[in-house]
Structures are given as structure tokens and as C-alpha cells.
Amino acid sequence: MRRGPLLLTFLSGAAIAALFFIPHYKAQAANSMLLEWTLVVYAFALILGSISLWNSHARKVRNRAEGWGFSVVTLVSLLAITALGVWKGVGEGTPVDWIYNTVNSPLASTMFALLAFVIASAAFRAFRARSVEATLLLVTAIVMMIGRVSIGELISHRLPGITEWLLDVPNLAAKRAIAIGVGLGAVSTALKIILGIERSYLGRS
Amino acid sequence: MTLQTWIAAFLTLCVFSFLYKDNPFYRFAEHLFVGAAAGYLLAVQWQNVLIPNVWTPLLHDHKLVVLIPLALGLMMLARAWDKGAGIARWSLAFYVGIYSGVAIPGYMQAQIFAQLADAAKPFAPGWGAVNSALVLVGLLTVLAYFFFSAPHKGVHGAGARVGIYFLMVAFGASFGYTVMARVSLLIARVQFLLRDWLHVLPGP
Amino acid sequence: MTWVRQLLAIDRRIIFLLVGAGAALPLLFPLNLPVAVTPRVRAAYDAIDALPPGSKVLLSMDYEPDIMAELFPMSVAVLRHCFRKHVQVIAMTLYPAGTGLGERAISTAAKAEGAILNRDYAWLGYKSGFQVVMIGIGENLRGMYPVDFYGTPLDSIPVTRHVNSYAQLQMVINLSGSSAADYWIQFAQGRYHAPLVIGCTAVMATDYYPYLSSKQLLGLIGGMKGAAEYERLIDTFGDARRGMDAQSLVHLIVVGLVIVGNAALFISKRSGGDGGGPASGSMTR
């Protein structure tokens, strides 16, 4: 049951990687076609996410699980906005755009604004200089937090220069090593997937 | 002060109420957010992808080849039901294969070759050579730290030790910037509440 | 020492109040602290400023409302700069929930600078797929975007009429809150050699210094501070600049909390306690 999909993975992956190196116009046309197909499949993958969300909350409502009333809110808002968007569009001036600016945008940005409080509380409770490494991390963080904002420039004219050096030298070195490591890992994982060694993405057989 | 501002402010305060403790207002806002975000995503997929890239080419331009990605996409949706997992595997296989294929030259060129080439360039002149040397030492020692196939002993161990210090400086810089990012998100919401809702700040 | 324990066990809601006050008070009572421009933001500004009038740039606004605080002011500032320079902007997004924000950023900047749709800018809207869209633009823009966001064929839009790949663009500007920036570096710059400027959230900014060093990036605008610096460079006073006083105060509060926490640990250890709070742990093997 999985041999066919594994073969398709190999063919699609090898084709798109090989077409990178072939400048012939027919190869590039094939490349473009594969990319346009993938764009459509990706859209359906995102739609699948919304369907799964619907199924999950619909199940809660059906079974009258704890908090099922809130699930009704989710289902109603999902359905209403989808229907309005398909019917009237999503551009400026449409009902969906109004809802986006009234509901989606404020809720999303406020959810993430909570993190400011959480990070301050976590920094107070957990950020301890219990070792040389932790002290180095803590001191660097403090220098960055003060040096990169306006108050740092007033405290000392050297602070901005120090922060710039920290970013341009030790930070650059470490992040470059991480980037190279991530690159090697990504390439090896991609090869394992194309060659059928890594199969977890197909789910249980 | 429009209805839109009042609703946005109410929802903002519903979310902030979580800071006191979990409560029905927060849960309402949370569930509304999830549904609204998913609904908007579906509407945008329909208007911006399915209509111009599937519907119009198929029905107006008669490009029958579009049936292939459409079929693959519909097969992908079968995954939402337990019995459809087998059908959805074909779409997943195509999709995962493509993304794996584009990753290989992409990562090799931009993250491996380009970064190694920049690491191998001659040192900067004058005092800049000290910084260049530090960057090279940092790169090699951090790579030594992440090499777990050999025990961190002797020269390798000493190098890994130095690498940890470079990593701590980098993570400290990242933490400082992370605090900056989170605080910025809060400042924007406070600006909205004070300016757009309560009108106690000067306008834009 | 009981007062140390009491201090360390302080209700977190008091910390929340401190942070909230730190954010609100400077907005109500501005300190007007100066915003100095850092070299990387200056480099991004100079790269865009060097574009001759009539140049075409691709601006990809890849973010959603959760991080609009940092990237929306950045988008408006960059767009205003482009419009002032008479640089034509082809704007797009790779995030479905970024559609509304992208459209709003463009209309805000266009209104401020008198830019006109299709003559000075085009809004292509959203496409799914990240890397495939970036590669697809390099091969055949019209294959990815047959029409713009409003349904107008690209051949009918003066800005996009003669553009079908990166070869016809003078620059790519990506404002992103995610790994989309990495892919723009890999594909737009790495594969198609498009000159690239990145704007990103502060969380990600430190990760892109290697690409600045290797000249894969011409400049980097990081977070709300970067947006404030850019606003200063284009001589406007937007939300980012307004927020800098509050940023400074809250940072001082967080640093103060960290110092107090560690001082309490130190005092507690000296008096034979365990310092309270969870251990940060050793990183050594």
C-alpha cells in the first residue's frame, strides 16, 4: 500500500532536484508546471487543517463534552466567515475585511502580547546565574536588552558599539555554525525522504 | 469611537483577563479566534488560490491538466476521515517529494556553500583580523560542540568547551532580542487601547 | 531568610502590573528618547535609497496579525520610502492571514505618499506554498499569479506588464516573521541572485548576521526598534518610534527583575539557603 506513494515521492523529489540543473526550456516548463501543481496541493493541505478543526469541535458538540458551548462559537465563526468570504470576497471594504480588522487582528495580536508578561515573570523566577555558562548568557542578554534600546545610548555611548560587536562576532560565529549544521541536517533528511529511508510522513501502514 | 473599535477593545480585554486567571471571557475570545482564523484562511484560499489557479484555468481557459493537481488536492482532503488515509498518501507523497527536492539545492547553496565560502575568506586588515580570527575560532569550536559522533575529550573536548561559550553569548543575544520582540507586541496593544479606544494619546 | 523567600514567591500578577505600567506610562508621558540608527538598518535604507526612479521591487509581506506590532510599521515605512523614490512596488504575501494586513499597509502608505494602484504599485495578494511560489516567481510569475488580488490580469497592469521573473526586478524586500526569510535567501537570492533586503521580528534578527557577512543580504531591519530606526531615516513619526520610550522602560523593568532575582539567590546562598526558584541548570556535558 505504501510502495506506490514511496515511488511517487522518489519521482517527484528527484525530478524537481534534477530540473534545478537543466536549463533547457522544456525542462524549465516542466519545472514550472510541477510548481504550479504543488501550489494547489498545498492549498488543499491548509484546507484539510480547517476540516480537521471542524471535525474536532463538532465531535465535542455532539458528545456534549466539557466546554462544548465554546466549540459552538468556533464552528459558527468558521462557517460564517468562510461563507461570507466565498460569497463577497476578502478585499478592503468587504464584510470579511471588517471582521478581520475587528476580530482576527486584535485577537491574534493580543494573544501574542501576553508573552511579554510571561517572559518577564519567567525571567524573574528562572533566569539564574548558577554556572559560568548561565552567567555568560545572562550578562549578554542584559547588555543586549539595555544596549539596543534608546536608554542604553544614554547610559553609555559605548553600549551600542558593544552590542554591535556581540552580534557581529560571537553571535555570527555561533549562528553560522548552527546554519551549516541545520543545512546539513535538512539535506540529509530530504535525501532520506526521497530515497524512501524516512517514511514516517506516510503515517502508520 | 466606532463599533469596530469597541468590539476590538472588548476582545482585547477578554484576552488580557487571562493574566488574572482563566475565565469564560478568555475562553470565548480564544474559541472565537480559532474559528475566525480558520474561516479567514478558507476564504482566502478560495479567492486567492482556488479561483485563479484552478477554477478559471479549468472552466474558462479549458486547461485540463489542472485536473491533476485538483485530484491530488481532493485526495489530500480524504485524510480528514480515518478510511481516507490511504488515498491521501498519494497527495502527501507528491507534496513531500517536491519539498524535499527543492530543499537539497536550496540548503546546499545558501546555507552550506555560501557560509563556508564566507568563513574561508582572508581575514580583514588591521584590527579587524582579530574579529575575523574570533569568528573562525567560534565557527570551528561550535561545530566541534555539535559533533556528537566522538566523545568530547582532549582537543575535541576543549574545543567544544570554547564552543559552548560562543553559544551562550549567541543565545544571550537571542534572549535579549526575544524580550524586545515580546515587549513590542504588548506596546502595540496598549497603544491601541489608549489611543484608538480611550483617546488619551495623541492621534497618528 | 524569609524576606528573600517572600520576594521570590511574589505573586506573578504584581510582575504583570509592573510590566503593564511600564508599557503604558511612557505612552501617556513621553520621554522623547533619541532613536539612534544601527549599521544594518542604515544598510537596508541605503540599498533601497540607491534604487533609481522607475525601478521595480518585489515586496513580500509574510506575516500575520500576531506579529503586526513589529512588521506593520516596518511595512508602511519601507513602502513610503519606495513611493517617495518613485520605485514601483509589486507586493504579495505568503500567509493567508497576511492578506488584510498587506492591503492595509499598502493603502496607508499610498494615501500618505499619493501612490496609485497599478501605476505605482501592484497588490498580488496571497499564494500558498512558500518555496514553490519563490521558485515559481523565478521561472514564470504569471504561472503563480495569473491575476492580481483584484482579478486584473498582470498584462493589464503597467507595473507588472514587463515583469515575469526576478530578472526584471531590481530588488526583493521580504518582511517576515518566520522561516519564509530563510527561503527567500535560498531561492530568490541563492538561486536567482536577486538583491535582497530582509525585515524580520526581533526574535529572528540575530540569526541573519551570517547572511549579512556573506553579502547574501544587503541589509537587515530587526523588530520594532528596526522599524523605529527606519521611520527616523525617512523622517516620519509612526507607531514604532512612539513605542521606543515604553520599550526602554519595560526593558529596564525586566533587567531589574533579573538582577533582583539573582541578588536574592546570592543573598540566600550566603546565608545557607538554596536560593529558591528553579535552577537554570548547567550546559556542560
pLDDT tens per residue, range B12-43: 999 999 999 999 999 999 999 999 999 999 99
- What pLDDT shows up at residue C160? 97
Pair C175, C60: CB distance under 8 Å: yes
Q: Which pLDDT band holds residue B1 (cuts at 50, 70, 90)? A: low
H or E element that contains C56: strand C56-62
Residue A48 pLDDT more than 70?
A: yes
The shortest C-alpha distance from A168 to chain B (Å) reads: 9
C-chain residues near B187 (CB < 8 A) = 23, 27, 69, 224, 243, 246-247, 250
* B139 touches A: beta carbon within 8 Å: yes
Q: Chain A: residue nearest C249 by CA?
A: A151
Distance between CA atoms of residues A169 and C90, nearest Å: 36
Q: Examine the domain organization and report whether A14 and A79 are in the same domain.
A: yes
Within-domain flag for A44:
yes
Whether A125 sits inside 8 A of C103 (CB atoms) is: no
Is residue C99 within 8 A of residue C125, CB to CB? The reply is: yes
Chain A partners within 8 Å of C244 (Cβ): 149-150
Are residues A189 and A150 located together in one domain of the fold?
yes
A32 in any annotated domain: yes
Q: Which residue has the higher pLDDT, C285 or C11?
A: C11
| Rounded Cα–Cα distance for residues B63 and B56 (Å) | 9
Is the residue at A203 inside a domain?
A: no
Choosing among C148, C212, C257, C283, which should be mutated to test the B contact, i.e. which has the most B CBs within 10 A?
Answer: C283
Three-state SS at C126: strand
What pLDDT, on a 0 to 100 scale, did the predictor assign at position C2? 77
**Is C153 near chain B, with CB under 8 Å?**
no
Residues A9 and A73 in one domain: yes
Report whether pLDDT(B162) > 70. yes
Number of domain units in chain A: 3
3-state secondary structure of C38: coil
**Of A149 and B84, more confident:** A149
For chain C, the first-to-last Cα distance in angstroms comes to: 33
Asked if the model's pLDDT at residue C152 lies above 60, the reply is yes
**Which residues of A fall within a CB distance of 8 Å from B55?**
none
| A6 and A83 share one domain | yes
Q: pLDDT, tens digit, for every residue of B42-74?
A: 999 999 999 999 999 999 999 999 999 999 999
Identify the pLDDT of residue C153. 95
pLDDT tens, C117-139? 999 999 999 999 999 999 999 99
Question: Does the residue A202 lie in any domain?
Answer: no
Q: Is A103 on the interface with B (CB under 8 A)?
A: yes
Report yes or no: B104 at the A interface, CB cutoff 8 Å: yes
A131 and A95, same domain (yes or no): no
Using DSSP, state whether B62 is helix, strand or coil. Answer: coil
C28 vs B194: CB contact, 8 Å cut-off? yes
In this predicted structure, what is the pLDDT of residue A205?
Answer: 64
Is C282 in CB contact (< 8 Å) with chain A?
yes
Instruction: Please check whether residues A1 and A59 belong to one and the same domain.
Output: yes
Q: What percent of chain C has pLDDT over 90?
A: 87
pLDDT at residue C30, rounded to an integer: 92
Expressed as residue numbers, the domain containing A110 is: 89-126
C-alpha cell at C128: 500558498
**A96 and A79: one domain?**
no
Chain B: touching chains (3 or more CB pairs < 8 Å): A, C
Which of A126, A147, A182 is the last residue in one of the domains? A126
Alpha carbons C211 and B115: distance in angstroms, whole number:
8
**Same-domain pairing of A175 and A193:** yes
Q: Average pLDDT, whole number, for chain C?
A: 92
Q: What per-residue confidence (pLDDT) applies to C282?
A: 38
Contact A101/C at CB under 8 A: yes
| Shortest distance, CA B1 to any CA of chain C (angstroms) | 19
More confident residue, C276 or C80: C80
Q: Are residues A115 and A104 in the same domain?
A: yes
Residues A22 and A60 in one domain: yes
- pLDDT at res. B203: 57
Whether A80 and A3 share a structural domain: yes
Strand order of the β-sheet with C219-222 is: C121-126, C88-93, C56-62, C171-176, C196-200, C219-222
Residues A167 and A96 in one domain: no
- Going by pLDDT thresholds of 50, 70 and 90, the confidence category of residue A202 is confident
Q: How far is A63 from chain C (nearest CA, A)?
A: 31
Residues of A in contact with B87 (CB under 8 A): none
pLDDT average, residue stretch A123-144: 94
- Residue B85 DSSP SS3: helix
C121, β-bridge pairs: C89, C117
Nearest to B201 among C27, C182, C238 (CB): C27
Stretch C145-151: mean pLDDT, rounded?
95
Return the residue in A34, A73, A96, A195 with the most chain B beta carbons within 10 A, the one to mutate for interface testing.
A73
Domain stops at, among A33, A66, A88:
A88
Integer Cα distance of B185 and B169 in angstroms: 25
